[in-house]
Amino acid sequence: MTGSDSKKLMLIVDDSKTNRAILHSIFEKDYELTEASDGLEASTLLKQKNFSVIILDLNMPNMDGFQLLDMLNADPKLKNIPVIINTQFGQEENELKALSKGASDFISKPYNIEIVRHRVNNVIMTTELAQQMINTEAEKRTLEKLHHLAETDSLTGVYSEQGFCHYADELRKSKDTEYTLLRFDVNHFKAINELFGAEKSLAILKLIADRLKVLVGNDGICGRLGADIFTVCMPTDKLDAEKIVNDLEQLISKTLPGFNASIYSAIYCMNDPETSVELMLDRAGLAIQQIKGNYLDRFTKYNGLVKDVMLKEQSLTNDMEFALGNNEFCIHIQPIYDIHTGRVVSAEALVRWNHSKRGLLPPDSFIPLFERNGMIAKLDHHVWGLVCAFLKKLKDEGVEPVPISVNVSRVNLFLPSLGDDIVALLDKYGIDREYLKLEITESARTADQTRLVEAVEKLKELGFTIVMDDFGTGYSSLRVLKDMPIDVVKIDMNFVAELGSSNKASIIVKHMSTLAKALGMTVIAEGVETKEQLGYLKSVECDQLQGYYFSKPLTEDDFIKLMKKS
Ligand code: C2E
Ligand code: CA
Ligand code: CA
């Protein structure tokens, strides 16, 4: 308490002028003083200034010291101001009562100036210290609370990304245990939202989190990285990733009638202390991207190979736009034969990428990538254009054209403008609709079945022939036949490949064929490679055949030659 500007404010409340004068002389050097002659006056002053300490007489007119103490206690803003009671010597009963009302200390007449000063100083100091402690405690609790909030996913109660990374990082520091990360997400989770509503999809996320907690137990930790992406960190020898994933798939499917939940997952062994948990999770996410759309292999492990694939995909993605303008994409055309007459009655256009640096690339090396990053929309449109141009070329060269089917990626099927886009292309080249058939693949998952049916109906209304490709590989083949206006089914080549070696495959092919024919559809078998397969397919009344046994996909020129010959 040195310079006057830093003096603390003291309020002296006493009805005796003499007492106030004595106290004044004791404290004026160290405090900025304000005086009140009773409790009432004091209470007014307390509202106007921030006092650091009050010296209070107990016996006063109007409002006595006890009443003022009560008032202070009742006001949260004032209750922490230290109050020192100014009493007559020997009034123990009053002192006790004042103490019980929160007074801090006493001074009594006759005053020993040094003692009085010390007492007042001490009281102020302890009060301030206590106040600081309360503040830091509260701050600490608030910080802890904020921290907890940031580390916890508010929807599900499992760790947030931040919390998960933090604690997974702690876990992996353990000397004698190796930990592994599991990352996964639910395929077509957005469809849950569309089919069952937002509330249900939130409930599913909670359900997953709750079950995950049980499955992980005390062995590890789990978290939600956002959307429908969850993650687990467990000792490598205790993590049964497939069990966790299967359990969750069943749980979701059971909760959502008609929805066949599938989960894509990747594991990442945390044995490199230099790699951050965040990066590991990113990489696991990229590894999952590699297997998306692959219905049999929904489980992967991040390793160097994945990284190579990722780098290659990145460069293909970068090259795509240029390649379109540079005419690097071309079509090969595979003829489709009538089973009875052996004539070419149709064909399928299959894209190839004549990459300026990598050479001729098969579709499997870029189609799945472009389906994931959305570029397939552009590419398919480009291919349809090539096919229309080719059909025109056939006409121009005097070759009787056959209908050519093009593959319509699932991504495009839901584009509202799809039908009109194709019609515009056909018109541009002056081609009739019957010459361009559209191959779509059966929904392997039933989630967007309704949308699929609607999309197909729309195309059908525009007059297109619809071919159901890879028939039999989805989960809803029969439903597809019943609900969708399909003209042609193409029996998946995996069934054809097994004809002869698997009794079951033969039976399935036979029944699929009979059923489709009974419904008035044309049946194509694709991937026919052997005479034996051909023999069997003839016996089950298949209509058309496509496969290496007859012809591989041909270049445009070779296809024209073939057509001219026949
Ligand atoms: P897909 O539509 O099922 O096409 C049939 C695939 O089987 C073609 O492979 C064809 O070359 C091959 N194939 C034909 N006959 C035989 C045979 O006897 N034995 C065997 N083992 N294979 C045979 P390709 O050309 O590599 O195409 C692979 C897939 O890429 C296609 O499967 C299709 O899903 C996709 N694709 C091709 N072109 C396009 C396109 O323009 N757009 C889209 N979205 N996808 C395309
Ligand atoms: Ca096809
Ligand atoms: Ca196929």
Mean per-residue pLDDT for 496-519?
88
Q: In the chain, what percentage of residues exceed pLDDT 90?
A: 58
Tokens 């590894």 sit at which residue? Answer: 287
Q: Does the beta carbon of 201 sit less than 6 angstroms from any atom of ligand 1?
A: no
Tokens found for residue 516:
């489709």
Ligand nearest to the CA of 380: 1
Is ligand 1 within 6 A of the CB of residue 547? yes
Alpha-carbon span 124 to 52, nearest angstrom: 7
Rounded distance between C-alpha atoms, residue 455 and residue 483, angstroms: 12
Measured in degrees and rounded to the nearest 5, phi and psi for residue 529 equal -120, -20
Contact 425, 385 (CB under 8 A): yes
- Written as six digits, the tokens of 295 are 């219905």
What Å distances lie between residue 432 and 388, 390, 409, 416, 421, CA to CA? Answer: 10, 13, 22, 21, 14
Please state, in angstroms and rounded to a whole number, the distance separating the CA atoms of residues 173 and 179.
9
pLDDT in tens, 63-75: 999 999 999 988 8
334 Cβ partners below 8 Å, 6+ apart?
A: 347, 348, 350, 546, 551, 552, 553, 554
Q: Which of the pair, 522 or 146, is modelled with greater confidence?
A: 522
3-class secondary structure for 105-124? EEEEECCCHHHHHHHHHHHH
Say what the pLDDT of residue 445 is: 44
Residue 464 carries which DSSP code? -
Q: What is the pLDDT of residues 418-450, one digit of tens each?
A: 999 999 999 999 999 999 999 998 654 445 677
Phi, psi of 105 (to 5 degrees): -165, -175
User: Smallest Cα–Cα separation from 156: which of 198, 95, 215, 210?
Assistant: 210
Q: What is the pLDDT of residue 477?
A: 65
Of 365, 375, 360, 363, the residue nearest 317 (C-alpha): 375
Among 7-21, 144-158, 190-204, 449-463, the range scoring the smallest mean pLDDT is 144-158
Q: Are strands 263-269 and 299-301 parallel, antiparallel or unpaired?
A: parallel
Residue 194 is which amino acid?
E
Handedness of CA 127, 129, 134, 138 (dihedral sign): positive
Cα dihedral 382/384/387/389 (nearest 10): -70
Fill in the DSSP letter of residue 153: -
* Residue 124 confidence (pLDDT) above 60: yes
Q: Which atom of ligand 1 is nearest to the CA of 412?
A: 44
Ligand 1: atom nearest CA of 362 is 26
Contact 456, 462 (CB under 8 A): no
Per-residue pLDDT of 209-248, as tens digits, reads 999 999 999 999 999 998 899 999 999 999 999 999 999 9
Between 293 and 39, the more confident residue is 39
- Order of strands, sheet of 221-226, starting from the edge strand that comes earlier in the sequence: 221-226, 229-235, 179-186, 263-269, 299-301
Ligand 1 probe mutation, 407, 441, 528, most atoms within 8 A of CB: 407
Chain segment 481-492, per-residue pLDDT in tens: 788 899 999 999
**Which pLDDT value is given to residue 4?**
46
Selected residue with higher pLDDT from 195 and 168: 168
Q: Residue 2: pLDDT band by 50, 70, 90 thresholds?
A: very low
Report d(CA 371, CA 84) in Å as an integer: 79
Say if residue 271's pLDDT is above 80: yes
Q: Quote the ligand 2 centre to 362 CA distance (angstroms).
A: 14
**Cβ(220) – ligand 1 distance below 6 Å:** no
Side-chain-facing half-sphere of 532: CA atoms under 13 Å: 8
- Tell which wins on pLDDT, 146 or 2: 146
Among 125-139, 151-165, 284-298, 539-553, the range of highest mean pLDDT: 539-553
Ligand 1 pocket, 335 CB below 6 A?
no
pLDDT of residue 15: 93
Residue 108 pLDDT: 80
The atom number, within ligand 1, closest to the CA of 376 reads: 44
Query: Residue 542 has what pLDDT?
Result: 95
The pLDDT value given to residue 330: 97
Write the burial class of residue 453 (CB in 10 Å: 0-12 exposed, 13-18 middle, 19+ buried): middle
Listed in sequence order, the residues at least 6 apart from 456 whose beta carbon sits closer than 8 Å to its beta carbon are 413, 440, 466, 484, 485, 486
Query: Rounded to whole angstroms, how far apart are CA atoms 375 and 121?
Result: 77
At residue 227, the pLDDT reads 87
| 455 compared with 405, residue with greater pLDDT | 405
DSSP code per residue over 202-262? HHHHHHHHHHHHHHHTTT-EEEEEETTEEEEEEETTT--HHHHHHHHHHHHHHHSTT----
Q: Whose CA is nearest to atom 23 of ligand 1?
A: 527
Mean of per-residue pLDDT scores for the chain: 88
Within 8 A by CB and 6+ apart from 279, the residues are: none
Which pLDDT band holds residue 294 (cuts at 50, 70, 90)?
Answer: low
* DSSP structure class, residue 384: H
Confirm or reject: Cβ of 383 under 6 Å from ligand 1.
yes
What are the chain's domains? 4-148 (3.40.50.2300), 153-302 (3.30.70.270), 330-351+372-565 (3.20.20.450)
- DSSP secondary-structure letter at 327? T
Spatial distance between the Cα atoms of 217 and 210, rounded to a whole number of angstroms? 11
How many A from CA of 511 to the centre of ligand 3? 19
Does residue 554 surpass a pLDDT of 90?
yes
> Per-residue pLDDT for 402 more than 90?
yes
pLDDT tops 60 at residue 474:
yes
Residue 342 is which amino acid? Answer: G
Burial category of 562 from C-beta neighbours within 10 Å (exposed 0-12, middle 13-18, buried 19 and up): middle
Answering whether pTM is above 0.95, one says no
Q: How far apart are the first and last CA of the chain?
A: 112
pLDDT band at 114 (very low <50, low <70, confident <90, very high): confident
d(CA 513, CA 521): 9
Which residue's C-alpha comes closest to atom 8 of ligand 1?
350
